Chains A and B, each alone.
Chain A
Amino acid sequence: MHETMVAESLLKTISAESTKQNAKPVSAKISCGMLNTVNDEIIRFAFDAIAKGTPCEGMKLEIEHKPIQGKCRNCSETFEFEICRPKCPKCESEQFDLLPDAPLILEEIEFETE
């Protein structure tokens, strides 16, 4: 259940930014790679629970999952890896490497200002 830890870290960063901006946060965009094992529903649930009574209460979280990238050893093409079709789309080679998965990132926060 590391979504709780992710939610806590998010709340901390967003709260600090909220104080700095002196504004109420209404939503945030998060991105992560497909191999990153976070579940959207659980993160939202955990975040809602710990945000109660803070300026972050009621915030919307938008979560984008970025595809895994493969790089062909034969023709150097970079492509979106699909587990059901593990081949280079350009030269059909099965010799490719998976590039490092995108990390979990807090991309942006939307605030409401007077």
Chain B
Amino acid sequence: MKKIVDIGKKILIANEEYALKNSQFLAEQKKLCLNMISSPGSGKTTILVRTITELKDKIKIGVIEGDIQTDLDAKRIKATEAPAIQIETGGSCHLSAAQVSNALENLLISTLDLIFIENVGNLVCPSAFELGEWGKIAVLSVAEGDDKPAKYPAIFAKSKVLLINKIDLLEAGTQVDFDIERAKADASKLNKDIAIFPVSARTGKGMAEWYNWLEESVKNIRG
């Protein structure tokens, strides 16, 4: 004989509970928290280092760094004198909300305006795990190809901002054929409200619009 039992239970409920706790904590503290997601090497840490340095007098930034191994990225952030906490996931392809909850307790939140979470370099898995952030920032570098929004829709559908990085490579006459308009159009089809900024974290080109967006968002959260 067979018997069917209805369950109807969310499988990742444990992560969701931590994410909710984190977002409530951040809302009470009125701190902006952004979860940065991209493939390995698209330039997340380079963007953060430049952003922290150039906004030093306007926004106090702290960073939670997620990597499978090493604390190299946290060291690069600390070199700017911004506080950083490294999470080594030891093989896991994404950060979990529990890990972020722990890190938030160890950052001096009251001294900060904005907390960036640099997720593990992976365009797929991190988008399935809410961390309690206010918004996601997708980074796509021109070397990766303009078809990525169409091929990996999840992260582009869920992000508030898309940073198209390394645009200096397009101008340098290198053999990179990335159609910025195509990437923009595809991302906008998935997400009408996504803000798209083509930037070069190396030369600084285009970063001013990104900084404006950050300053506006910090202001809105502060209320």
Contacts and interface: CB of A to CB of B under 8 A. Distances in A.
Interface of A: 1-2, 5-6, 9-10, 13, 17, 21, 23, 26, 30, 35-38, 68, 73, 83, 86, 94-98, 101, 103-114
B156 to A, nearest CB: 10
**Among the interface residues B5, B94, B125, which one has the most CB atoms of the partner chain A within 10 A?**
B5
Contacts of A9: 11-12, 14
B1 A2 contact: no
B73 to A, nearest CB: 21
A98 B3 contact: no
Contact of B9 (A26, A105, A112): A105
30 contacts: A1-B93, A2-B93, A2-B94, A2-B125, A9-B12, A13-B11, A17-B5, A17-B7, A21-B5, A26-B2, A35-B154, A37-B154, A38-B128, A73-B192, A86-B189, A95-B192, A101-B154, A103-B11, A103-B12, A106-B8, A106-B11, A107-B8, A108-B5, A108-B6, A108-B8, A109-B7, A110-B3, A111-B2, A112-B2, A113-B1
B146 to A, nearest CB: 15
Interface residues of B, number: 31
Contact of A112 (B1, B6, B7, B93): B1
A13 to B, nearest CB: 6
Contacts of B6: 107-108
A84 B1 CA distance: 45
A9 B129 CA distance: 15
B10 interface: yes
B153 A83 contact: yes
Contacts of B158: 35
B195 interface: no
Given A9-B14, A98-B191, A112-B2, 10 more contacts: A1-B91, A9-B11, A21-B3, A35-B157, A38-B128, A86-B189, A96-B192, A101-B154, A111-B3, A112-B3
A77 B12 CA distance: 30
B172 interface: no
A108 B10 contact: no
B4 A110 contact: yes
A22 to B, nearest CB: 11
A109 B179 CA distance: 48
A9 B13 CA distance: 9
B3 A113 contact: yes
Given A37-B124, A95-B192, A1 B92 contact: yes
B35 interface: no
Contacts of A103: 10-12
Given A104-B12, A109-B5, A98 B94 contact: no
B81 to A, nearest CB: 34
